[in-house]
A and B are shown apart, each in its own frame.
Chain A
Amino acid sequence: MMNKRSRLLALVMAALMLMLTGCEGDPVVRKQNTQVQITLSWWGNDSRNEYTIAAVQRFEKLHPDIKVKCSYSEWQGYEARSQVQMISGTEADVMQINVGWLGQYSADGTGYYDIEKLSDTVDLSNFTPEMLDYGRRNGVLNAIPIAMNAETVYINKDVYSDFGLFVPQTWDDIFQAAKVFSKHGIYALAGASKSIWLYCIAYAEQCSGRQFFNDKSEITFTADDLKIMIEFYNRLVREKVIPKVEDFQRFNIDNGTYAGVVAWVSDALNYYKGLIEKGTEVIAADYTAFDPSKSGSGWYAKPATLYALSRNTEHPKEAAMLLDFMLNSREWAELQGVEKGIPVSASGRRYLEEIGKLSGLQYEASQVMEKNTFIKPMDPFTENADLYETFIEYCDLVLFDKSTSDEAAKELYKIYSENYKMAPA
């Protein structure tokens, strides 16, 4: 018979065996981490894509329970893609948008999320009411502007100096410069379709004294005004001030074939980073005018880009957190710098001042815009792609002698009348 000690020992051994073998059949349960996924879309060049991705990583590090899926591309084609997404309801939760899209997709203010509903997350106190008004449709805060933008005349001062030319200020200066440059295969200026379209509007407005759009987004230009624009474009091309917009090629900026470019403030580094790094002096010139003292007349400023939230977002809180981070945080401002222009956000601008990033060609172009007293806010419809593509189409008809400028202007006016709101005669 076992004594007490033996019994105790047997009990301990049994317990140990049970402990060592008892867990064999237990199921292994592993809990997966779940994250809220939101999407962010933007367009831009390489540097914008790189810093945006880096800034998003900073955001994800601060908020490990949020995953941001990025969708980005260069500008070309982005607008059409955005249209497909907006119409099909597959747009990103947080979007970089163009000011023109507000009118296009949210005429009554319901096309995008009402950001004021998220004002406990997005600090709107960094923006003046006037700036927020750029993002309002029908009184609803659909978007928040990032920075202001305007078409700017960039001049490669080294090329102009090589030919003994001063920085052009007037339309005549431009044509005079072209006379010198054209003998050497150099263009005094160049630009993509939209930039040249706005350049022609500036010229025509200075000629006619009328704004292309009135306050009601109605076209005020007559067929005669359009004829001025068409003839101006033809003169620019025929006198080799600019290449045809179809012939505009980016690499001709780098090789000096284009001694100047009409482009957005936000395109300064995109176009000229390489040349500036090589030591070329590039400046943001005054806006071309008949009278230099009225430089800026007929030229327009607009929010460079805006951020909006999808009205269909399933995660408004998280989307608002990202939006606030993009607009108001030091982390984002540090990486973005002045790439999109000088930030409208007071805190963003303050951070850039603190770290000494308010400098360079882009900053100079912003200063030209901000200090100009004649420049006016741009009507969002001015950037409508159909509007300026049709204009170029009719310019080409004249350029290739398929039509007279008079006929082309009348036909163009007719098409505009059929598709856009026209101001009463």
Chain B
Amino acid sequence: MAAKKPNRSMLRNISNVQLLMIFGFGLIVIAAVLTVSVLAIRKTDEVLKNKVISLTSSLNVQMKLNMESYLSRMETIATLAFGEKEAYTYDATDPNNDEYESINIEKKITERLFSLCIMENFVDYGIVYRNNRVVGKISNGTASLFGDRIFTEISSMISRPRTNDGWSTGYDNNFKRIYYVKKVHDNAVLVISFYASELDAVFDNPETLGDMDIRLVNKDNNIIYSKEPDEVGKSLPDDVADRIRGKDSASVLDNEYLATVNKCGDWYVVCSIPTQIILNEKNEMTTFIVVTAVFAAFLAVLMALLLSYRIIRPIRKTVFTLDNKARIDLLTGILNKRSFEEYAGNCLENSLDSECHALIILDIDNFKSVNDTLGHAYGDKVLEKTGEILRSVFSEDDYLGRIGGDEFGVLVNTRFDSREKFDSYLHDKCRDLASAYHDYYSGRDGSYKISASIGVSVWPDHGRSFEELYSACDSALYHSKKSGRDTFTFCNYDKEREGDNDE
């Protein structure tokens, strides 16, 4: 058995190196994958954010252009009223007006104004005079909203001195209509209006951006238009308002919101969307990158395992072979002297007093004459046979070694629960050894009888260390030699017991 015991520390070292390789490689791979993933995610994040900002900004600009175009068209249609001479020359406040003539002129102006706006969804398209008289199309809603202050309030909506006109909404917190007013003369102002919901067509956005909130707000952040009619007239939500405050044309993207704003006359087109929604693709992409990275790392570690296994396996095999060669006596197949002493010494050092150990030393009698008489080849055969005999007599737990030219050692390591049984076992083994030699003859004709002398010392009675035990055992062997050989002697420092007495 002793020959099969490997040098565990060496192999343990190799296993440690293998583990180190796997972990090291794994760590490097994971670090590399992590670095690449983080860089990829950051870059993706940056590119995606820039792209989203750019697209949203473009959308906002497009909405602003739509709005400007729509307002411009409304202004153009309003200006058509000035093509009718009576529309800008008639003054309903003139006290010199003939009442009947006035009725007919007003009828003519009204007919003309109606024909100009017939195909548009105008709520109002008429002229209001300083005396609150109206001609053309002035709706009940507008008449009701302004009451007898209609001229004053409508006139006050003129905000552009260059063209004497202006856009307005939110009078008395009513944002249902959007008004365009233009001065006709000192006592008359042209007014057109349309429902804010008409801007649905202006701010219609593609279905892919259905979650985008598009609003038109005034300088006080009151919502003039929103896809949600309930919002009209209310304040722009603080989440969005805070991000665009003080800006005329800008895009802001943070962790919570993407908001863009563009000034359109006195109003602002505001597009906003929660970042989580607009960058949903980013999260998907991040997940994809992470999953791919984990998968790649797993593959890399798997590869490392495979490679290390393939690299380490021949090394282990070589080391195992070299280790065996270093430990084993090639002729007998049992431990050589150095290994035997090392293993036996370690075994004894780590043993408890309750354990039973014994050292048996065997010396082949007259081995020199075997060599001289039969030749070295037969001598080697005797040694080889001795290895076989030792392996057949002792158990796997015992250490067997060749400790000299014809001297062999056995550290009995078999467990017993009582000293008596152990002693009995030792005697049996010694007799078995002697018996095995008694049956062994060598030489060309098989007539040369071989025998061995045996010494036995018991741990810890005859020594605690291997050296002490060996010394005691050597004395017992000497006693066997002196007693005529082919016998065994137990060391008797405490209690003398001699094998020949038992024979």
Q: Which A residues lie within 8 Å of B207 (CB)?
A: 32-33
From A49, which residue of chain B is reached at the shortest CB distance? B195
B122 near A250 (CB under 8 angstroms)?
Answer: no
B140 near A74 (CB under 8 angstroms)?
Answer: yes
Give Cα A84 to B117, complex, Å. Answer: 12
B132 within 8 A of partner (CB): yes
A104 within 8 A of partner (CB): no
Give Cα A32 to B207, complex, Å. Answer: 9
- Which of A53, A73, A255 gathers the greatest number of chain B CB atoms within 10 Å? A73
B197 within 8 A of partner (CB): yes
Give Cα A45 to B122, complex, Å. Answer: 13
A76 within 8 A of partner (CB): yes
User: Pick the contact of B121 from A72, A396, A400 — CB < 8 Å?
Assistant: A72
A251 near B150 (CB under 8 angstroms)?
Answer: yes
Contacts A9-B306, A50-B229, A77-B118 known; A249 to B103 CB distance under 8 Å? no
User: Pick the contact of B137 from A71, A76, A255 — CB < 8 Å?
Assistant: A76
Chain A: minimal CB distance from B193 (Å) = 10
Chain A's interface: helix, strand, loop or mixed, by majority? helix
B352 within 8 A of partner (CB): no
Interface band, chain B: 35 or more
Give Cα A281 to B422, complex, Å. Answer: 125
A246 within 8 A of partner (CB): yes
B143 near A74 (CB under 8 angstroms)?
Answer: no
A254 near B147 (CB under 8 angstroms)?
Answer: yes
Q: Which B residues lie within 8 Å of A255 (CB)?
A: 147-148
Q: Which B residues lie within 8 Å of A89 (CB)?
A: none
Chain A: minimal CB distance from B387 (Å) = 39
User: Pick the contact of A254 from B132, B144, B150 — CB < 8 Å?
Assistant: B144
Number of residue pairs across A and B with beta carbons under 8 Å?
Answer: 76
Give Cα A72 to B139, complex, Å. Answer: 13
User: Pick the contact of A45 from B119, B125, B134, B140 — CB < 8 Å?
Assistant: B140
Q: Which B residues lie within 8 Å of A274 (CB)?
A: 144
A251 near B144 (CB under 8 angstroms)?
Answer: yes
Chain A: minimal CB distance from B295 (Å) = 8
Contacts A251-B150, A255-B147, A270-B140 known; A77 to B114 CB distance under 8 Å? yes
B141 near A80 (CB under 8 angstroms)?
Answer: no
Chain A: minimal CB distance from B330 (Å) = 34
From A402, which residue of chain B is reached at the shortest CB distance? B100
Chain B: minimal CB distance from A223 (Å) = 23
User: Pick the contact of B176 from A32, A46, A76, A246 — CB < 8 Å?
Assistant: A46
B476 within 8 A of partner (CB): no
Contacts A77-B118, A249-B134, A251-B147 known; A396 to B100 CB distance under 8 Å? yes
B450 within 8 A of partner (CB): no
Contacts A33-B207, A251-B147, A402-B100 known; A74 to B141 CB distance under 8 Å? yes
From B114, which residue of chain A is reached at the shortest CB distance? A77
Chain B: minimal CB distance from A195 (Å) = 13
Q: Which A residues lie within 8 Å of B100 (CB)?
A: 396, 399-400, 402
B229 near A80 (CB under 8 angstroms)?
Answer: no
Chain B: minimal CB distance from A249 (Å) = 7
Chain A: minimal CB distance from B223 (Å) = 16
Contacts A72-B121, A84-B119 known; A77 to B140 CB distance under 8 Å? no
A249 near B132 (CB under 8 angstroms)?
Answer: yes
Q: Which A residues lie within 8 Å of B121 (CB)?
A: 71-73
B103 near A396 (CB under 8 angstroms)?
Answer: yes
Give Cα A246 to B114, complex, Å. Answer: 16
A250 near B143 (CB under 8 angstroms)?
Answer: yes
Q: Which B residues lie within 8 Å of A49 (CB)?
A: 195, 197
A73 near B147 (CB under 8 angstroms)?
Answer: no
Chain A: minimal CB distance from B479 (Å) = 62
From B121, which residue of chain A is reached at the shortest CB distance? A73
B197 near A81 (CB under 8 angstroms)?
Answer: no
A20 within 8 A of partner (CB): yes
Q: Which B residues lie within 8 Å of A399 (CB)?
A: 100
B292 within 8 A of partner (CB): yes
B99 within 8 A of partner (CB): yes
B123 within 8 A of partner (CB): yes
Chain A: minimal CB distance from B180 (Å) = 16
B106 within 8 A of partner (CB): yes
A249 near B106 (CB under 8 angstroms)?
Answer: no
Q: Which A residues lie within 8 Å of B138 (CB)?
A: 76
Give Cα A374 to B253, complex, Å. Answer: 71
Give Cα A254 to B149, complex, Å. Answer: 13
From A12, which residue of chain B is reached at the shortest CB distance? B299
Q: Which A residues lie within 8 Å of B118 (CB)?
A: 77, 80-81, 84
B139 near A76 (CB under 8 angstroms)?
Answer: yes
Q: Which A residues lie within 8 Å of B148 (CB)?
A: 251, 255
- Which of A80, A250, A399 gathers the greatest number of chain B CB atoms within 10 Å? A250
B312-354 Cβ-contact flags toward A at 8 Å (1 or 0):
0000000000000000000000000000000000000000000
Some 23 contacts from A to B, beta carbons below 8 A apart, are: A16-B299, A46-B141, A46-B176, A49-B195, A50-B176, A53-B229, A54-B229, A72-B121, A74-B140, A76-B139, A77-B114, A77-B137, A80-B118, A81-B119, A246-B103, A246-B107, A249-B143, A250-B143, A251-B148, A255-B147, A274-B144, A396-B100, A400-B99
The 3 closest A-B pairs by CB, nearest first: A250-B143, A400-B100, A251-B147
Interface residues of A (CB under 8 A from B): 9, 13, 16, 20, 32-33, 45-46, 49-50, 53-54, 71-74, 76-77, 80-81, 84, 244, 246, 249-251, 254-255, 270-271, 274, 396, 399-400, 402
